[in-house]
Structure 1
């Protein structure tokens, strides 16, 4: 079969039209080391807010740098907005806003003048409307009042906001954010989350790398987990926990009682595992529902069993499994997943 005409090379295939990012066997090996990214097959749906998670050294930042054409892969392929990277970098990057590994700013310039400099470097930017774009971007990230201040005097959180403003100077089909809430106070984090939701509602796909699992749960529709350079799992956030922890969800029961030893004994008899007593607080994992077996005990029945056994119950409740639970189960690593 003859090769397609040159004009058709790099054109999105029908299935790729629904994926803003797609990789096949993407691999990066540095000289003398194990692969930093090893055979990555990633699929980011158009219109999603996609969370990218992984422990230190898992390959997240290396993956992002390959997707943006900053480094070349050792093997495999990457397509962004339907075009091959890094080959189509000049066609793709004008449609992408990115904040990777913190913003690079001119400390001697004001926040406003930094944005004007960035905008002037964009060949597609109309200089006649530059001031409007810059003012709008500053407003969106809450820096309008500090626009005249030198960037070197900005706090870490303010610098992060300014980097995000630079990524928002033009409408983007894809926004790639590496730790966008780094250095922000709780109010600033809420504002950035609200901005991400607003951008997604306007049709921008957001690819978000974060070490805050709670942030991923709050704002992302889809997520992927990396560990030791390999993709562990990916899919809708709502389904990841159930897929990893099972249909029973491995929900946790928490009981406050002055009789913790008796509570542990009774709950163990009813099938709870991972029981721990910390002072007057007892926690344990609820059993899964086997496919063909009896249903797990109802929390109300467990409470009644404790009372019948003479355990004095001061507080009783269940906790749904979190993305953190699933993450630890998948990677065997703790909560610090920046990297």
Structure 2
């Protein structure tokens, strides 16, 4: 597999169609009264690569488990591929590939034999083409050379690849991935991102939960942000990033003096990395030209000065009031 990130921007999804996932008022309350998901209204367009984001305890995994029929909601509705879940699970799930909370593997079997076992459990799978399907799935995730090794000696990244291969044994209309690059090295992460793009180009909708904001920005066309069980925002990734306030960026060989002057002018969130510093964007009442003049007048040699555009991380922090955590 090769990384095709530079081939086309990921934030255009001209092939998106009617929703493949839709929830209305979806709620899950566990015993003891803990509210894990609170009135979720989520819409995942067909043909999109949809990033599902949220800090620790936000309800992401609980939501995914309800969508896949693994647990029942307390109230509200969920539909997948236009059919109600969990009531239509038997007809929906054969069209869905899923990798949730890590793959469940038979350690004493080889990677190939694990996939043969998974495929044989599918009553709709043609046994005459089983080995060809398994070989193709192993090749797609880069495990063909290691397919004869027992799964118990696989690294975490290899196990993730094998779980993804299991989800790809058959053509799927929807692929649900929970932390798909967990345990992978940078090259493996690039390969999985490339594979996700390929699948989307072939018409598969990908629903991706990840703690890597950079990953979401690189591969996802749409995203949703959850916190404390509630949906905060959803929409195209480019629009979410653009909605975030930018940061003031200054390059100077005099960073300590620049920090002092910016703080005197009421700017917060100042951070320094070598000769580059950033700060919260000033309010609209502050003229950037005056701020630059104040730096120069204070003896700061300014090499560059300006407002950088917001990022998905900026939007996430602004929405949740906290940094990003792995669990969800």
**Which structure has the higher relative contact order (CA within 8 Å, separation 6+)?**
2
1:255–1:314 Cα contact (<8 Å) kept: yes
RMSD between aligned residues:
2.3
Runs of at least 5 residues in structure 1 that lack an aligned partner in the other structure: 1-16
Question: How far, CA to CA, are the matches of 1:262 and 1:124 in structure 2?
Answer: 67
Q: Give the corresponding residue for 1:200.
A: 200
Deviation at 1:280, TM superposition (A): 5.6
**Distance (Å, rounded) in 2 between the aligned partners of 1:273 and 1:77:** 43
Structure 2 SS opposite 1:182? coil
Would you say the 8 A contact 1:259–1:312 is kept in 2?
Answer: no
What is the CA-CA distance between 1:86 and the residue it aligns to? Answer: 0.4
Deviations 1:89-127 (A, max 9, x none): 011000000000000001011000100110111111111
Task: Please tell me whether the aligned partners of residues 98 and 167 of structure 1 are also in contact (alpha carbons under 8 angstroms).
Answer: yes
2:109 alignment partner, SS class: coil
CA drift at 1:325:
1.4
Q: CA deviation at 1:164?
A: 0.1
TM-score, structure 1 as length reference: 0.85
Q: Write out aligned runs for 1:14-163 (5 A).
A: 18-163=18-163
- In the alignment, structure 1 residue 330 sits paired with structure 2 residue 319: yes
When the two structures are superposed, what TM-score results if normalisation uses the length of structure 2? 0.88
Q: Counterpart in 1 of 2:261? A: 265
Offset of 1:268 from its aligned partner?
A: 5.3
Confirm whether residue 222 of structure 1 aligns to residue 222 of structure 2: yes
Contact 2:252 2:300 (C-alpha < 8 Å) held by counterparts: no
Question: Mapping of 1:271-286 within 5 angstroms?
Answer: 272-276=267-271, 281-286=276-281
Counterpart contact for 1:111–1:151, Cα < 8 Å: yes
Distance in structure 1 (CA, Å) of the matches to 2:271 and 2:122: 58
Q: 1:102 to 1:266 in 2, by over 3 A?
A: closer
Residue-by-residue CA offset, 1:197-235 (whole Å, 9 max, x unaligned): 110011100000001111111110000111111111111
Q: CA deviation at 1:278?
A: 7.0
Residues 1:308 and 1:338: Cα distance change in structure 2 (over 3 Å): same
Work out the CA distance in 2 between the residues paired with 1:90 and 1:259.
62
Preserved contact between residue 259 and residue 270 of structure 2 (Cα < 8 Å): no
CA change 1:122–1:314 in 2 (3 A) is: same
Note the C-alpha offset of 1:21: 0.2
CA distance in 2, matches of 1:114, 1:296: 63
> How has the CA–CA distance of structure 1 residues 235 and 267 changed in structure 2, closer, same or farther, with 3 Å as cutoff?
same
Name the larger-Rg structure.
1
Following superposition, the deviation at residue 265 of structure 1 comes to 1.8
